[in-house]
Structure 1
Amino acid sequence: MTATSTLPLWSPSKDDIALAKLSSFAKGIEATHKLSFNHDFRALHQWSIQNPEAFWTECISAFGLVYDGDIHPARINTEQAPFARWFPQLNINYAENMLRWPGHWTALIEAGEEGEGRHWSFSELRCRVSQHQRALRELGVSAGDCVAGVLPNAGEAVAIMLAAASIGASWASVSPDFGVAAALDRLGQVNPCVLYSVAEYRFNGKSYNVAANIDKIAADLPSLKRLVKIGGGWPEGSVGVHLEDALPSDNTQQPDFIRLPFHHPLFVLFTSGTTGAPKCIVHGHGGTLIQLTKEHQLHCDISAQQRVIFPSTLGWMMWNWSISALASGATVILYDGSVVAPDELSIFRLAQQLRVNTLGLPSAFLERCGQKQIDIKGQVPLKDLKLIFAGGSVLSPEGFEYVYEHVSPQVHLTTGSGGTDIVSCFMLGNKWQSVYAGEMQGPALGMDVQIFNEDGNPVIGERGELVCCAPAPSMPVRFANDPGNKRFTKSYFAGFPDVWTHGDFAEETLNGGFIIHGRSDSVLNPGGVRIGTAEIYRQVQKIECIENCVVAGQQYDNDVRVVLFVVLAQGQQLSDELCAEIRQLLRENASPRHVPKFIIAVDDIPKTRSGKNAETAVSALINGREPSQIHALANPESLEHFRNRAELAK
């Protein structure tokens, strides 16, 4: 059992509880079903998983979602994973529910390393969505097609996505820092008919031009009808149509919306590509909308016209998560760039300037601030801030303590776990429970979350597999390119019969919270961004003098360092020039996050008896653990090359 704190860092006041949207939601259930929860979150959660049809029906009603058709039945069981179809008689449109607010309300605020940018009203956003909607229809784009973007986090990207959703086309995106191979590994699988892209982007004070990459990506997408070029930096005579020429001139019309089946595809999100090409996870209109609105309102206490920011790129599901706060009438601040440019105080100054209420930050960033003992509250008082969401990776107990000592003693600090697979969270915070150092407050409502031991029995106070024992609306509709649902079923339901196994090594505490101890597979997680080892291998193996390689993540200072081990051809040496070539290849063809912190030459790499590199054995050794199942290795003597490496002690 992991030692946990018995004293909370924060507890809700009586006013916090009384004014929470969670409390008004619970009162509605109590009145309808003649219950009394007495602000006991465990009791409310238990009711939500024992009565899932009633719970999710109450959510649709309480959130005022716009739809037509019959809300009953809420769920029918299916034989294929994820073993349920939700609201089969209901038609809904995600974009319509994002844009249903008064026109004068502020919908979006653009921001970046240079500060505050354009403000978009809901009226302006609706009109821009209408322009994109008409342009897409003129190209013949319709329900079932896919629209894609290689875009920064800005209002135009939101408008394009909503336009695609409004007519039933799905949306897939990557950020401009993706290399050609990494982008094509994803977009090449979903056959987009229109691609929107920029040629230039800025990060950490520097400008980058990726026009040549975009030309290559567009050339290798045979389904593409049009490349729409946004902004400057495009070479003379480059392929594609500029945005100004692609849109109709009338910018006063309102969009219309096709109400679609609850499960109709909305987003295609991509996994990290650990064992091959990234999986294409298809999320539906209804499941995404109802789940994220539940998280925003009931777990994060977000209300209409509160201001929400979570710095993200379009290659991370937190972009989809944060922009969906529009469904609650919130103002979403779109931050594009580095959160440490020009320094760590910058994002807090921006939050102060824009009167932010909900501030999402990478856990690794908060850990960095804590290591430097930066006194935020003394330099940048955040009087409007109500909630900090630490995401992307595990926040250490010391990180929790830093927030309450040096950022704000009154703020509600929440962390969550879930991600791309469900475009939401399995565990999250709430305004009824206390916050304990290092713990997620509890399970998300409607999610039957448990920790299973190796025998498939639920345990508390022991480490095991994070599972979800019942279907939930935000579980994927399907994977793209997955005949018979075979890859989908294998990915999530192979561990325990009919139970979603998420791949996190976790623990439920006696406080009722949860601790994530790491991934149970080989996905790397530097800075909270999941990347796959196969994406690194595909690039490194292009270098002729490298015969084999293995990559693993080393836990260091509450983050993960990517370590690449290479076996060189006879007579070759690991020179500075070769290391630079490896790093450049990964930066250009994958992303900067794929670039290893250390590159180390070894004589051999441990392999399984089937000839596969034993990544888990390498990972164990560089993290100070003894590998299990050494007898299963074909060459166990090779493990000595990875023990007590002096380079990794730095």
Structure 2
Amino acid sequence: MTQKQASSYLWKPDRRFIESSTLKRYMDWLFVKKGLYIRDYDDLWDWSVTDLEDFWESIYQFFDIQSHSAYRDVLDRNPDGMIGTEWFTGATVNYAEHAFRFKNKQHPAILFHSERSVASDLRPTAISWTQLEEEVAAVAAYLRSVNVGPGDRVVSVLPNIPEAVVAFLATNAVGAIWSSCSPDFGTSSILDRFQQIEPKVLFAVDGYTYNGKPIEKISAFRELRQHLPTLEKVVWLPYLNPDSRLEWSINWDEVLNTPHTGLEFTPVPFSHPLWVLYSSGTTGKPKAITHSVGGCLIEHLKTLALHQDVKPGERYFWYSTTGWMMWNFSVASLLVGATLVLYDGSAAYPDMNVLWDLADQLKINHFGGGAAYYLAAMRAGLEPAKTHSLNALRSIGSTGSPLPNEGFEWIYQSVKKDVWLISFSGGTDICSGFVGGCPLLPVYPGEIQRRLLGCKLEAFDETGNPVRESLGEMVILAPMPSMPVFFWNDTDNRRYTDSYFGNFGPHVWRHGDFIKITGHNGVIIYGRSDATLNRDGVRIGTAEIYSAVEQLPEIADSLVIGIEKENGGYAMPLFVVLKANQDLDSTLVDQIKKTLRIQCSPRHVPDAVFAVREIPYTISGKKMEMPVKKILSGLDPSLVAAKDTMRNPDALDYFVPFQDKV
């Protein structure tokens, strides 16, 4: 993908917008409380990454983080590298406790809508703070009654519904560790994740609805339970059918009737695990990325309040599933007192206007989604500015993949001309962003406004030197509180090290994106510099696709590639090597796609399937995804890999004919 640097802005905050922002209030607070005179955002960013301890301590104090014991040190660095860094040592906190600090009777805690309720012409469901607190207290009491406490793992396979939020908050209230998969994951994909962390309790659902079709999951959960021997309890939620039951489970309504004396919070050390998220599984089983309670708490407060300007009582929505880190991040809007808006279902059912209808009906202030969603709406010819009022809408967030210039321009021409577009990029790795919005500055086409506070991000060339206004590897040069505390079962931190610190040493986090820091001090992201797939804003592991496809008796080998197109599109072709006497006919293509849809998810289904003679391998036996990606992007095969590192060097040539077909 290429993007031209823009010379004129699309939006600029007026004085009132700037003066009312939480970021401006924070800068004024720094002057009054710390004696720091900050001229502008770039000065503030420089200070935040230079005086790291003072910056993060100021965030802790500005947001009045409630600790049950005092911290001794803000930052305890590991001299051997970023891994092992500890923050606010001695502090004991609870994430869920902070989610209830702004409870009130004026605004609901959650607003929920779904394609099922849309189809039935039902009103959205409003859940008050009182109801949310009561339900979380009951579920937390149940978890304590079955001896779930700090360190235990509680897992969920629920849709994007209020019960998932209740289950998470209850899990964290008792000090346990949360982990979630979306029900559209196949059973093998769920097991690849949950088997690693040996959960004690599972929250499960009888099914979900997508594109108007009910999809039953009861048989999948029977299989899931058989392969998770550490499970002691299953909490069953009848979502599709109120009469559905699963053997050996307790019904959700029974859990809600658990006696309790109010919502109690178990404080845990700042670095105690909050949840386990998962990498995409590119090089094997997905990595179980473990984040800390305190690290995510302070990072989410900073990002949502300062970089997205979310205020108490405002309505915050991000279209997501429970298997994407943006679900966790959107739930964090409760930390700043926002009303969390949830939607369960397809963004294109019954038509592409359904989410804009939601924004209008619920008077959403902050609307978020994947870049692919906005591009699909643009290509469908949608013009929400003509069909919806969107009067309450203050910001539109975009993440998951780069939003190109035409996506920026469509939002300002066809959605709302005076909206603040926040292009946001980070990932599962930190459950937040590295780069994103700044309410003090203009928005330029194709550019993310700024590097976020406390994130010492640079672009490196091949030799490890910083570059400006030219393409480089995105690197982070200082620790951040929400970086993983560890990967589960990675006792020597080998997988953690290999994931981020293999290129430039233990003190430089290499994220795997190609970026350019512009003359505006903004950031343009040009896509992944590794082989991870990114379909509709969700990172997908190639290993999961290979595992499913290569089980088919007709397939000998396979290779899948994700290619960012210049127009903002995304192509994901699958190449297969057929066994002897097999043909790649339409029946086999359909079987491949069906297998991936069932065993993995609809996002794993390729755009096209092609047959090739061989898949290229390194001498050590690794599939060469990146060289093939470069060939499909137009490079000469002789330039993409050293032939003496390959087991079958001629195999790269087989992909040249497909340069014009993907």
Q: Work out the CA distance in 1 between the residues paired with 2:10 and 2:328.
A: 30
Deviating more after overlay: 133-142 vs 59-68: 59-68
Structure 2 vs 1, CA of residues 506 and 647 (structure 1 numbering), >3 Å: closer, same or farther?
closer
Q: What residue number does 1:59 align with?
A: 59
Matching residue's letter, 2:541? G
Q: Work out the CA distance in 2 between the residues paired with 1:476 and 1:34.
A: 33
Q: What residue number does 2:572 align with?
A: 562
Matching residue's letter, 2:44? L
CA contact (8 A) 1:107 1:332 kept: yes
Q: Secondary structure at the match of 1:320?
A: helix
CA contact (8 A) 1:176 1:201 kept: yes
Q: Work out the CA distance in 1 between the residues paired with 2:487 and 2:258.
A: 38
Q: Work out the CA distance in 1 between the residues paired with 2:351 and 2:63.
A: 39
CA contact (8 A) 1:291 1:473 kept: yes
Q: What residue number does 1:367 align with?
A: 375
Matching residue's letter, 2:539? R
Q: Please report how far the alpha carbon of residue 607 of structure 1 lies from its aligned counterpart in structure 2 after TM superposition.
A: 2.1
Q: Secondary structure at the match of 1:525?
A: strand
CA contact (8 A) 1:83 1:471 kept: no
Q: Please report how far the alpha carbon of residue 36 of structure 1 lies from its aligned counterpart in structure 2 after TM superposition.
A: 2.1
Q: Work out the CA distance in 1 between the residues paired with 2:286 and 2:659.
A: 34
CA contact (8 A) 2:446 2:524 kept: yes
TM-score (ref. length: structure 2)? 0.95
Structure 2 vs 1, CA of residues 582 and 235 (structure 1 numbering), >3 Å: closer, same or farther?
farther
Deviating more after overlay: 147-156 vs 237-246: 237-246
Q: Please report how far the alpha carbon of residue 145 of structure 1 lies from its aligned counterpart in structure 2 after TM superposition.
A: 0.2
CA contact (8 A) 1:81 1:489 kept: no
Q: Secondary structure at the match of 2:572?
A: strand
Deviations 1:82-121 (A, max 9, x none): 2421000211100000012234231111112244532111
Q: Please report how far the alpha carbon of residue 253 of structure 1 lies from its aligned counterpart in structure 2 after TM superposition.
A: 4.3
Q: Please report how far the alpha carbon of residue 71 of structure 1 lies from its aligned counterpart in structure 2 after TM superposition.
A: 3.9
Q: Please report how far the alpha carbon of residue 636 of structure 1 lies from its aligned counterpart in structure 2 after TM superposition.
A: 3.1
Mapping of 1:105-120 within 5 angstroms?
105-113=107-115, 114-115=117-118, 116-120=123-127
Whether 1:501 and 2:510 are equivalent positions in the alignment is yes
Mapping of 1:286-305 within 5 angstroms?
286-305=294-313
Q: What residue number does 1:474 align with?
A: 482
Indicate the RMSD between aligned Cα atoms, in angstroms: 1.7
Structure 2 vs 1, CA of residues 17 and 246 (structure 1 numbering), >3 Å: closer, same or farther?
closer
- 1:622 aligns with one of 613, 632, 635: 632
Q: Work out the CA distance in 2 between the residues paired with 1:606 and 1:249.
A: 58
Matching residue's letter, 2:348? V
Q: Please report how far the alpha carbon of residue 80 of structure 1 lies from its aligned counterpart in structure 2 after TM superposition.
A: 5.8
Mapping of 1:183-194 within 5 angstroms?
183-194=190-201
Deviations 1:337-372 (A, max 9, x none): 111111222211110111110000211111122223
Q: What residue number does 1:576 align with?
A: 586
Q: What residue number does 2:97 align with?
A: 96
Q: Please report how far the alpha carbon of residue 647 of structure 1 lies from its aligned counterpart in structure 2 after TM superposition.
A: 7.8
Q: What residue number does 2:135 align with?
A: 128
CA contact (8 A) 1:127 1:253 kept: no
Mapping of 1:172-183 within 5 angstroms?
172-183=179-190
Q: Please report how far the alpha carbon of residue 529 of structure 1 lies from its aligned counterpart in structure 2 after TM superposition.
A: 0.9
Q: Work out the CA distance in 2 between the residues paired with 1:253 and 1:121.
A: 19
TM-score (ref. length: structure 1)? 0.97
Q: What residue number does 1:531 align with?
A: 540
Q: Please report how far the alpha carbon of residue 260 of structure 1 lies from its aligned counterpart in structure 2 after TM superposition.
A: 1.2
Structure 2 vs 1, CA of residues 91 and 635 (structure 1 numbering), >3 Å: closer, same or farther?
same
Q: What residue number does 2:29 align with?
A: 28
Q: Please report how far the alpha carbon of residue 205 of structure 1 lies from its aligned counterpart in structure 2 after TM superposition.
A: 1.4
CA contact (8 A) 1:606 1:614 kept: yes
Q: Please report how far the alpha carbon of residue 486 of structure 1 lies from its aligned counterpart in structure 2 after TM superposition.
A: 1.8
Deviations 1:251-286 (A, max 9, x none): x84210011111111110000000000000111111
CA contact (8 A) 2:236 2:245 kept: no
Q: What residue number does 2:385 align with?
A: 377
Q: What residue number does 1:633 align with?
A: 646
- 2:430 aligns with one of 422, 431, 435: 422
Q: Work out the CA distance in 2 between the residues paired with 1:399 and 1:630.
A: 38
Q: Work out the CA distance in 1 between the residues paired with 2:327 and 2:295.
A: 17
Structure 2: gaps spanning 5 or more residues: none
Q: What residue number does 2:598 align with?
A: 588
Q: Work out the CA distance in 1 between the residues paired with 2:372 and 2:246.
A: 43
Whether 1:164 and 2:153 are equivalent positions in the alignment is no
Q: Work out the CA distance in 2 between the residues paired with 1:337 and 1:380.
A: 21
Deviations 1:438-473 (A, max 9, x none): 010010001111111111111101111101100110
Q: Secondary structure at the match of 1:586?
A: helix
CA contact (8 A) 1:101 1:122 kept: no
Q: Please report how far the alpha carbon of residue 624 of structure 1 lies from its aligned counterpart in structure 2 after TM superposition.
A: 2.4
CA contact (8 A) 2:320 2:369 kept: no
Q: Work out the CA distance in 2 between the residues paired with 1:184 and 1:177.
A: 13
CA contact (8 A) 1:357 1:386 kept: yes
Mapping of 1:336-485 within 5 angstroms?
336-485=344-493
Deviations 1:474-530 (A, max 9, x none): 111111000122211221112212111111111111111111111111100111110
Q: Work out the CA distance in 2 between the residues paired with 1:268 and 1:236.
A: 28
Q: What residue number does 1:488 align with?
A: 496
Deviations 1:383-422 (A, max 9, x none): 1110000111110011001111111111000111111000
Q: Work out the CA distance in 2 between the residues paired with 1:555 and 1:508.
A: 19
Q: Please report how far the alpha carbon of residue 602 of structure 1 lies from its aligned counterpart in structure 2 after TM superposition.
A: 1.3
Q: Work out the CA distance in 1 between the residues paired with 2:152 and 2:307.
A: 34
- 1:150 aligns with one of 152, 157, 163: 157
Deviating more after overlay: 484-493 vs 283-292: 484-493
Q: Work out the CA distance in 2 between the residues paired with 1:610 and 1:65.
A: 49
CA contact (8 A) 1:110 1:155 kept: yes
CA contact (8 A) 1:81 1:488 kept: no
The alignment covers a number of residue pairs equal to 647
Q: Work out the CA distance in 1 between the residues paired with 2:619 and 2:261.
A: 64
Q: Please report how far the alpha carbon of residue 637 of structure 1 lies from its aligned counterpart in structure 2 after TM superposition.
A: 2.7
Deviations 1:139-167 (A, max 9, x none): 11111000000001111111111111011
Deviations 1:601-647 (A, max 9, x none): 11222222333321112212222233412423333332332223388
Q: Work out the CA distance in 1 between the residues paired with 2:273 and 2:306.
A: 25
Structure 1: gaps spanning 5 or more residues: none
Q: Work out the CA distance in 2 between the residues paired with 1:229 and 1:483.
A: 34
Q: What residue number does 1:313 align with?
A: 321
Q: Please report how far the alpha carbon of residue 31 of structure 1 lies from its aligned counterpart in structure 2 after TM superposition.
A: 2.0
Whether 1:73 and 2:73 are equivalent positions in the alignment is yes
CA contact (8 A) 2:487 2:496 kept: yes
Q: Secondary structure at the match of 1:281?
A: strand
Q: Work out the CA distance in 2 between the residues paired with 1:561 and 1:254.
A: 51
Mapping of 1:5-44 within 5 angstroms?
5-38=6-39, 40-44=40-44
Percent identity of the aligned residues?
37
Deviations 1:142-199 (A, max 9, x none): 1100000000111111111111101110000000011010000001111110001101
Q: Secondary structure at the match of 2:492?
A: helix
Q: Secondary structure at the match of 1:176?
A: coil
CA contact (8 A) 1:81 1:485 kept: no
- 1:206 aligns with one of 198, 206, 213: 213
- 1:197 aligns with one of 198, 201, 204: 204
Q: Work out the CA distance in 2 between the residues paired with 1:496 and 1:201.
A: 44
Q: Secondary structure at the match of 1:643?
A: helix
Q: Please report how far the alpha carbon of residue 247 of structure 1 lies from its aligned counterpart in structure 2 after TM superposition.
A: 4.0
CA contact (8 A) 1:551 1:565 kept: yes
